[in-house]
Amino acid sequence: MRKPRATGRSHRKKASSPEGGEKCVLSSIQAKPSVIDGEEPGPDGGLRGLARHQEKVILQASVSSHHLFRDTAEVTAFRRSLLSWYDREKRDLPWRKRADNEVDLDRRAYAVWVSEVMLQQTQVATVIDYYTRWMQKWPTLQDLACASLEEVNQLWAGLGYYSRGRRLQEGARKVVEELGGYMPRTAETLQQLLPGVGRYTAGAIASIAFGQATGVVDGNVVRVLCRVRAIGADPSSTLVSQQLWSLAQQLVDPARPGDFNQAAMELGATICTPQRPLCSQCPVQTLCWARQRVEREELSVSGSLPHSPDVEECAPNTGQCQLCLPPTEPWDQALGVTNFPRKASRKPRREEYSATCVLEQPGALGGARLLLVQRPSSGLLAGLWEFPSVATELSGQGQRKALLQELQTWAGPLQTTRLQHLGEVVHIFSHIKMTYQVYGLALEGQTPVTTTLPRARWLTREEFHTAAVSTAMKKVFRVYEGQQPGTCKGFKRSQMSVSSSRKKLSPGQQVLDRFFQSHVPTDVPSLNSAAQ
């Protein structure tokens, strides 16, 4: 049997449709709906069939055929052009090599699975090193299943979205303990049986590792399809999401499904980018409605072409097409093809506040030690280690009192007068803007503290830097280090701000500080961005 060709791809964001959502039931002049949807008749036969038919009629009435691929010739041309470009231009990435060279289907699927999970919300350049170290440490599902969560969190530290690593290990254990070590072979069973595997991830594994002809939709594919078919409605809406999945299924090449899916994502990541797309280098530009509209308008402005109707004026006589640009957001000539897709409205991040203290024993046996405590096993940053912290909106003495009570829970009675406020750290999670008030307390001249509490550890500075700690805690520690005599103070001002009460700043320095504090970096990439 011919081994399906495995490929890789670039940084992406998952499609806005919820993982595990309903299969697409759009009716169009494409392939049979039953083939596209992957649906089977249910025990209630007629009733379910009637419900599906009614939904198709509603959707069909809302969508113009302008947004579809109208015939086999268009689909064939799209496949041929995209795959030819991909064969010439695809990037050399470690997960592609591993999947290409792996004969064992389960090991190949595992290699693809790891890369797919790591690449969610994360840049390719960042993932390469993590992926290489992960596969060296745990080359098989069995190896990962035997690892501890502590080891997984430690290797994942700095990659962000830590629940991904935890769910990946949970899935490996289920495959080994409940499925006999064999990965499910189809997108449907992958999504059904593996924790944390949704519609996109299941389709990617099934097409790349097992050669199943199933389409995938991530943020890059959303952008490509919206521009190619001039889909201007909100891509996060149910109707648009269903239509995008339907188009992806229609287009996927049954002879090379893995390569095709990777090519579509690669096109969105490297050519059809969110800003400043390289349309002149696009292999499917002749099939792109957005590009054709730009060209027509350029000719119209130059007088070479009389004014023509707007591309999005494609609604059927029954009413406004639900996939076109909304009347409230008409075509903006200055944006060109980047009119598509329209950005979905985003909820503002909620703001949270925490007081955290770096508690150090400079005279501890074997060298200075830092106290770290483990976070709960669920929720934000589950299972990671951090400096003792309290969630609080209090300020001044109220904040200090709450933090001291927390510190004494772990380390016993302390000399409270030595607790110093050092500054603050602002860290952006996908859905939270967290502000840490950073304190420091050195136990100089005190009897060394020992702790036997199960969720507390005293670590050396070297151990801290290799422990399973979040990027936010590393920022906190840099603030602490910057205030210690004889240590490097060259931490980034854009990430931390030292309390102005510690030193009187000149007016010019105050202006610079305000500028840098207003440009706090985030760890969240975009396509536009997503959640932890």
Judge whether 141 and 172 are in contact, CB under 8 Å: yes
Distances (CA, A) of 230 to 42, 220, 293, 362: 36, 15, 9, 63
Mean pLDDT value of segment 449-457: 76
Task: Pick the range with the lowest mean pLDDT from 16-30, 88-102, 106-120, 373-387.
Answer: 16-30
Judge whether 123 and 522 are in contact, CB under 8 Å: no
Phi first, then psi: give them for residue 201, nearest 5 degrees.
-60, -40
Number of H helices, E strands in the chain: 19, 8
Mean pLDDT value of segment 70-90: 96
Distances (CA, A) of 214 to 17, 112, 114: 16, 15, 19
Check residue 397 and give its pLDDT: 82
Q: Which residues pair with 360 in a beta bridge?
A: 370, 442
CA distance 340 to 223: 7
Distances (CA, A) of 64 to 190, 231, 318, 320, 323: 34, 10, 10, 9, 8
Share of the chain above pLDDT 90, in %: 52
Judge whether 437 and 391 are in contact, CB under 8 Å: no
Whether 150 is a known active-site residue: answer no
| Tokens matching residue 449 | 């503290």
Q: How confident is the model at residue 484 (pLDDT cuts 50, 70, 90)?
A: low
Measured N-to-C along each axis, helices 238-251 and 257-270 cross at an angle, to the nearest 10 degrees, of 120
Q: Comparing 209 with 40, which gets the higher pLDDT?
A: 209
Distances (CA, A) of 261 to 15, 234, 249: 14, 23, 10
CA distance 502 to 496: 14
Checking if the pLDDT of 330 tops 60, the result is yes
CA distance 142 to 145: 5
Residues 6+ positions from 32 with CB-CB distance below 8 Å: none
Checking if the pLDDT of 348 tops 80, the result is yes
With tokens 């969720």, the residue in question is 455
Check residue 417 and give its pLDDT: 72
Task: Pick the range with the lowest mean pLDDT from 35-49, 70-84, 437-451.
Answer: 35-49
Rounded to the nearest integer, the mean pLDDT of the chain is 79
Checking if the pLDDT of 491 tops 90, the result is no
Checking if the pLDDT of 472 tops 80, the result is yes
Residues 410-419: tens digit of each pLDDT: 888 887 778 8
Question: Dihedral through CA 506, CA 510, CA 511, CA 514, nearest 10?
Answer: 170
CA distance 220 to 269: 6
The 3 state secondary structure assigned to 313-340 is CCCCCCCCCCCCCCCCCCCCCCCHHHHC
Mean pLDDT value of segment 483-506: 44
Q: Comparing 109 with 42, which gets the higher pLDDT?
A: 109
With tokens 């648009």, the residue in question is 240
Task: Pick the range with the lowest mean pLDDT from 2-11, 294-303, 512-521.
Answer: 512-521
Residues 10-37: tens digit of each pLDDT: 444 444 443 443 333 333 333 333 333 3
With tokens 């190619």, the residue in question is 228
Check residue 506 and give its pLDDT: 52
**Which of 102, 116, 360, 386 is the catalytic position?**
116
Checking if the pLDDT of 338 tops 90, the result is yes
Phi first, then psi: give them for residue 448, nearest 5 degrees.
-55, 135
Residues 292-315: tens digit of each pLDDT: 999 988 887 766 555 444 444 564
